[in-house]
Amino acid sequence: MKYEVAIVGCGPAGIFAALTLVEHGIERIILFDQGGDLEKRRRNDPRDVLCGWGGAGAYSDGKLNLSTEVGGYLSEFLSVNDLRELLRMTDSIFVRHGAPDRIFGDVPASVEEIDDQASMAGLEFIPTMIRHIGTENCQLVLNNIRKFLEGKVEVCTGCQVHSLLEENREIRGVKLADGRIIESNFVITAPGRVGANWMKGEAESLGLKMAVSPVDIGVRVELPATILKKITDVTYEPKLIFYSKTFDDKVRTFCMNPYGEVVTEETDGIVTVNGHSYAERKSENSNFAILVSSNFTEPFRDPIAYGRYIARLANLLGGGAIIQRLGDLLAGRRSTQDRIDHCLTTPTLKTATPGDLSFVFPYRHLQSIIEMLQALDKLAPGVFSRHTLLYGVEVKFYSNRIEVSRDMETKVKNLFAVGDGAGITRGLLQASASGMIAARAIVSRIK
């Protein structure tokens, strides 16, 4: 059977593309993902964390950022008002399938107070409104969507797409890893972060233009939740930007998890750190990433390879993730298990190896991270404590941005590229919205 639409990737971008197509009565839709279906995925299996139904979002803590300023580049394709409306509609679909009602950051007076304090600390605060689904609730929401789509679309999990097929600059379908050819009138590629390398290779093969994205490398910070409580109670995930004094590099906080846990991820054998938080179950700590953005110019055009190199170095030295007390880092010594055991902050990630992050990061990155922690300490006293824990390495493997139209269509006719894997978005809500944009364009052509 020839399909109307083939979707590569069952993460949020691919799922919301399918939801939109079904809503408009489109039939013969097929979705592919190299990972397993939701009930077959396991949190303790590194292969399941990023792949499968729900993508990496299945094991995230489900932050839906309603701000038009963060989470991706859709503001370059839509007006602010149109994007705000699209994000609102996307958010309402999550709520319809079980996301909780509460939104953080919707109290202007409290947000303004944080903004003033951040300015005095030399930080730029980006006000956002966030709906927090919670790690355990993400599974429920994704399962509800999966049930809704049953019988309406064909879902092929555990099925890897090898390549895209085109003829005369028009998409014809996909070739699977087992050699099967799947013909389709339209193809939406939504491979997610884990598929960034695959997307890059296919774009090069098809002669699609790409813009080199910056690479974000840094640490995950863990400290007692009470230190950030006044801020996280208002905004849940404060977005703070700092420009380092020494190098003027952009440094930012990312993925704040109040009362959360630090976890590891594995991509192609490389272990990195991340964090999440539950809606109900709470730890005594909060964690967040500090990321340093690096832009590269000619002749180097492979920031993903650079990020992998730093992560591999940490794995080489620590056999996986590394943990270090801030006090030990500043004293120029490695952390030992005895020093970690005597730390006032009890680590939530038990598998990290005590070590020395100064052997991993270039001086430029390490200095920028330390300066960011000092600035944060002015906003929330206690951040720059010797008992603050640092985990390495956290790397965001953002794909090179593929050139697409306002409809998310590439230069190959009827081939669309959406989500994080195409370098278009950097967050759950905008990734979902990008899938809706592509699907709407396809609906208009079919009808």
3-state secondary structure 20-83: HHHHCCCCCEEEEECCCCHHHCCCCCHHHHCCCCCHHHHHCCCEEECCCCCCECHHHCCCHHHH
Average pLDDT along the chain: 94
The yes-or-no verdict on residue 177 having pLDDT over 80 is yes
Residue 112 predicted with pLDDT over 90 = yes
**pLDDT at res. 274:** 94
Structure tokens at 310: 């730093």
pLDDT at 433 over 90: yes
Q: Are 353 and 319 in contact (CB under 8 A)?
A: yes
- What count of Cα atoms within 13 Å lies in the side-chain half-sphere of residue 300? 13
Tokens 């004293």, residue? 331
Nearest to 62 by CA among 255, 220, 225, 202: 255
Cα–Cα distance measured from residue 307 to residue 231, given in angstroms and rounded to the nearest whole number? 31
CA 220 – CA 143 distance, rounded (Å): 30
Predicted local distance difference test score (pLDDT) of residue 217? 95
pLDDT at 46: 63
CA 205 – CA 163 distance, rounded (Å)? 9
* Residue pointed to by tokens 């290779």: 201
Cα–Cα distance, 111 to 169 (Å, whole number): 50
pLDDT of residue 410 exceeding 80: yes
Structure tokens at 301: 């055009």
pLDDT-derived band of residue 28, with 50, 70 and 90 as boundaries?
very high
Residue 108 pLDDT: 84
pLDDT tens profile 220-241:
999 999 999 999 999 999 999 9
Residue percentage of the chain with pLDDT more than 90? 81
C-alpha–C-alpha distance, residues 404 and 72, integer Å? 14
**Vertex 232: Cα angle to 12 and 275 (nearest 5):** 45
Residues 255 and 265 sit within 8 Å (Cβ to Cβ): no
Predicted TM-score of the model (pTM) = 0.89
pLDDT tens by residue, 36-68: 998 888 777 766 778 899 998 888 889 999 999
The band of 299, judged by pLDDT with boundaries at 50, 70 and 90, is: confident
Q: What pLDDT does 296 receive?
A: 76
**pLDDT for 342:** 94
Please give the domain boundaries of the chain with CATH numbers for all domains: 3-104+130-211+401-446 (3.50.50.60), 215-396 (no CATH)
* Token reading at 73: 């580049």
Distance (Å, whole) CA 326 – CA 315: 20
**Tokens standing for residue 289:** 């990433």
